[in-house]
Structure 1
């Protein structure tokens, strides 16, 4: 340990945790720190340390890093700030250069908590307990990391590490190392930026293949200060939307709060990634049953009707006054009878793939809790009999304490605190495993780009096999010859990013005779008007500086902006994935023959989206491709408006 007060905190943390290895403080003047002998300099150490905490100022840090790598130190944590996070990129580059091949965490990093072996390389307070196995948590915020150590929800934490600036060792490298420990059951990440998206996808894929789940809380899901781009695609496929699509495609669960992160990790620790498809909720109150029903309607968990055989058995046990339903309110007729409660809980659990038992423990400091013990004992017994996922869910986060959480988890029952957070956590842990070997495309970097006009954009679409209207262009309206075309026409003024907003689109034109100019137009495009469409669809392909490229699909025109009924996928995707995404849109019924209307050619939409993806794949100069709208017919689809942006040579 290098430094003064912060280094002393690390020494004290290791001593308090019972760390059995050697601890070597290094200080030029102090004889000891926290009862441990100090060494005046690195050269005085008995041998190269396995790990080091560097708690000196940023400039002195560079010298310490150089010396440590020179003697073969196993790795170092850099606590000091004042590097790239304050725009001093040169200093951070120097930090990485001096480390050479020695692994370093940080700078601007608290460090690593190892609750398995008691190695607490951590300069501040932390609330973790020793464990024999548990989850690993990575966070890019040291303060968030410290907060997570203070949880009292029964989550066993094996490792917690902060990445800081992640100048050298990043999210993927540290995740891979921690997941390689057989004592680690799952990985939770508080993510501000993924870093290498391809590398992290590989890590998640390997974890899922090993039966370990990964759940992520992505910071900044709201608008993240991105500049509004000229296309609808960029405004709709913001960073939060794209990161969510990416996490879904690699098989990582996503949550939106720290409580949900903790609850999801508890599920993964006890059960691993969930495969359950049907759920039952059991409580002794109609109020709790109603809360579960309302929360379930806002999510994706299925609470189907009670199977006939299960219902008959429950009626036999509960009597005629209890209505058998899901969620189930079993009243209090059986309260306190452990054996009968266990039989009821078992019967309910046997009819579904996973069970939620809603119950709130009284405050032991103010109440008598003994009368609630039969309910918890019955849950444990039911789990032992059925062997399927069983969750003890409280309505309030404070009504299952840490001691009870520990007791339940040892018995294989997962305590989940708060109904909303419980259901969200369960959903996150059921994220389907990603396609084997799937990786996002490598990002494309560029400095300058050009916007192609509609004529040039449609020429590229046509060359890629997409259908576009017949048309003719010119610098003046008088130059446009409609011979060979069928009215009605669409007349468009060129040179506008959003032609409709500028009043530069005239529909249903029968003749160009005496047609007035469009103010501000740099040229004109006359096309046959597509009048037999059944739906207007937006298809957008866009490069992403982190995730490679995206496809955004939705209903076109102003509907995309007003309803935000769009879905974003990270390339590459398959046709079946595109169709599944389309079916998830709110307005999907309009494509599927809603109220007896004709069905649109969904296969044509899928084909158009795949061709846009191929264009991005084949020509890495293309940055954005927006078709808005793609008019979908009963058979076929036509790209009636398009905008393409590409890198300048």
Structure 2
């Protein structure tokens, strides 16, 4: 309760200067004086808005439950020590610039005393339900919970929420997360009655798995979460030995975490607030099929394109529905979807609501988007205000009755109708782009459910203390999980080849077993028809690459195979991650991948495969036979279990996994120890 509804607050560093942090914090604290005791501390004895200050915490009549610290960095540890000695157990650290070592020592003392701190280097906290306002800026009360690592970005979110009319229920800037983490503050929103939707901005996810569990708990509590983060880590990708490490970016892993948590990842603060508006105002989307009603053919067509780009479907209406729509419109109007009003709205404003009623009742769509002039009639022609507002009432009632979203793109930004639409639970936006980037993610979020991240059972194969260096060892580890490899034998000289070849089926491949990326240095020779050719190829490799373990392997020459990459690695924040994508030597060129937190089931792995742009190749492109999708999915699930069950492994990879109509064969593999120095 110290950070949401303390019984008493002391602002240390309160100021009478409106340009200083201390003034904003003191003024905000005093706004809650009807609910709690508020004390202001200033060494100079300043008077803030008519309220006297005390020179120190020791001079207060009681020990405050929460101390807000807005003092110079060089004096902050001293103030904290004084507060701990007095018995303060809650700290809100606004001060920045303390330095890592001094901050760590200070937080250690706070924790040792059984106290907690939000921050330091934070912008503050706000709670609409408890009149707690300890932050820079002004907040509009509402239903959006905001937890942000960046104070300024959090303040931008709060401002956008106010402009959108949805307001803020609770705001927390976590700053450096030196003690209290964002995950803890987000968890506190599960029982916060005023909060209906949450936006979380983070740059460092710390214990990502715990955060995923927390976001899933919020979703189960009926509070959807929208996540914002920043970019990818080029340095992290360059440090990876495998293609898997090079292909997976920070953003893709966060997206996978959001899917596992039942949350959604937004691209910008504006999009996050637009999505939140739709989630707060409209019935939850139940499907992706959307009917588009436009005042002109151009607006309807553009709306259909925009919605499609955001994962929604604009399906053609059936014959019966087209007939009902046609009866409401002039001859020649477009009725299949998108629907062109062709001037019907101007002749009779009730056409809008009658069309929406037909469409929502058709059973062929899951929502309706109106795009164009509606919302502008009353603004441009005052005599139409009453009629337009009546239609607004009808649209809101239809959305509620059918429990489907009706979303409006209006050419008016600030008319009475636009405000009324939002009040009636009809989200209204100034551009069709906003409609697309709101309705698409909101629909995805509504249809998405949290995925339990269970740990894998103990796996057979190499024990954790055995180093799986080289291709043959990696084969053994991965094959133990049921992933099929071609027959192979270890060879070191040409004299070893005849005996090895006798137990294998030609054609053969010879490869340098110790190289991670064999093809890049010419470490693989394929298409060897007999033992003599294989021996000659081995001599050539030894001459170029030197002595070492080489592998003579059966070549997979099945027709109509598709090459995939299947990899796993350990993300610093979110732990084990599995990837599948277009494989072979061009995997990084195509970057056609699917990423999930590991482990995944074979069913989840199959969904990953179906999400690839190249999936038609697996499914029988242009008359080719369908490949064994079940075998490919089993390999993905096996690699995901390996990386999840073996914390001693940093990366593992099969590339390529050759998938044909009669199964999947792994023809190269790599396993990297977690302690191994990466080049």
- Fold equivalence (TM over 0.5): yes
Change (3 A) 1:437 1:505: closer
What corresponds to 2:670 in structure 1? Answer: 643
The 10-residue stretch of structure 1 (369-378 or 61-70) with the greater mean CA deviation from structure 2: 369-378
For residues 137-156 of structure 1, the aligned pairs below 5 Å read 137-151=146-160, 152-156=163-167
What corresponds to 1:125 in structure 2? Answer: 137
Kindly indicate whether the alpha-carbon contact (under 8 Å) linking 2:518 and 2:524 is maintained by their aligned counterparts in 1. Answer: yes
Alignment length, in residue pairs?
A: 635
Give the helix-richer structure, 1 or 2: 2
Q: Measure, in 2, the Cα distance between the counterparts of 1:419 and 1:96.
A: 51
The alpha-carbon deviation at position 513 of structure 1 amounts to 4.8
Deviation readout 1:494-518 (Å, 9 max, x if unpaired): 4433111111211111223544422
Q: Secondary structure at the match of 2:323?
A: helix
Match of 1:12 among 9, 27, 46: 27
What corresponds to 2:480 in structure 1? Answer: 463
Q: Secondary structure at the match of 1:230?
A: coil
For residues 157-556 of structure 1, the aligned pairs below 5 Å read 157-221=168-232, 223=234, 226-271=237-282, 273-335=284-346, 337-351=348-362, 352-359=365-372, 371=384, 374-375=387-388, 377-387=390-400, 388-394=403-409, 399-401=412-414, 406-430=419-443, 431=445, 432-435=447-450, 437-438=452-453, 452-481=469-498, 482-510=501-529, 511=532, 512-515=534-537, 516-518=539-541, 519-523=544-548, 524-533=550-559, 534-556=561-583
Match of 1:111 among 111, 120, 124: 124
Q: Secondary structure at the match of 2:196?
A: strand
What corresponds to 2:600 in structure 1? Answer: 573
Q: Secondary structure at the match of 1:160?
A: strand
Change (3 A) 1:139 1:619: closer
What corresponds to 1:75 in structure 2? Answer: 90
Q: Secondary structure at the match of 1:491?
A: strand
Match of 2:641 among 614, 617, 623: 614
The alpha-carbon deviation at position 417 of structure 1 amounts to 4.0
- Structure 2 residue 73 is the aligned partner of structure 1 residue 55: no
The alpha-carbon deviation at position 6 of structure 1 amounts to 1.5
Change (3 A) 1:277 1:477: same
The alpha-carbon deviation at position 422 of structure 1 amounts to 2.2
Q: Measure, in 2, the Cα distance between the counterparts of 1:198 and 1:289.
A: 43
Q: Which runs of 5+ in 1 are unaligned?
A: 442-447
Q: Measure, in 1, the Cα distance between the counterparts of 2:454 and 2:54.
A: 48
Q: Secondary structure at the match of 1:355?
A: strand
Kindly indicate whether the alpha-carbon contact (under 8 Å) linking 1:591 and 1:599 is maintained by their aligned counterparts in 2. Answer: yes
Kindly indicate whether the alpha-carbon contact (under 8 Å) linking 1:440 and 1:549 is maintained by their aligned counterparts in 2. Answer: no
Q: Secondary structure at the match of 1:472?
A: strand
What corresponds to 1:560 in structure 2? Answer: 587
TM-score by length of 1: 0.90
Deviation readout 1:472-503 (Å, 9 max, x if unpaired): 22333333332222221111124433111111
Q: Secondary structure at the match of 1:413?
A: coil
Q: Measure, in 2, the Cα distance between the counterparts of 1:526 and 1:381.
A: 75
Change (3 A) 1:370 1:137: farther
Kindly indicate whether the alpha-carbon contact (under 8 Å) linking 1:361 and 1:400 is maintained by their aligned counterparts in 2. Answer: no
Kindly indicate whether the alpha-carbon contact (under 8 Å) linking 1:466 and 1:611 is maintained by their aligned counterparts in 2. Answer: yes
Deviation readout 1:365-411 (Å, 9 max, x if unpaired): 99666657744542331221341344443377xx4239766533322
Change (3 A) 1:342 1:9: same
What corresponds to 1:445 in structure 2? Answer: none
The alpha-carbon deviation at position 35 of structure 1 amounts to 1.6
Q: Measure, in 2, the Cα distance between the counterparts of 1:326 and 1:389.
A: 18
Deviation readout 1:541-563 (Å, 9 max, x if unpaired): 11122111111111210332221
Kindly indicate whether the alpha-carbon contact (under 8 Å) linking 1:541 and 1:551 is maintained by their aligned counterparts in 2. Answer: yes
Kindly indicate whether the alpha-carbon contact (under 8 Å) linking 1:202 and 1:439 is maintained by their aligned counterparts in 2. Answer: no
Change (3 A) 1:165 1:406: farther
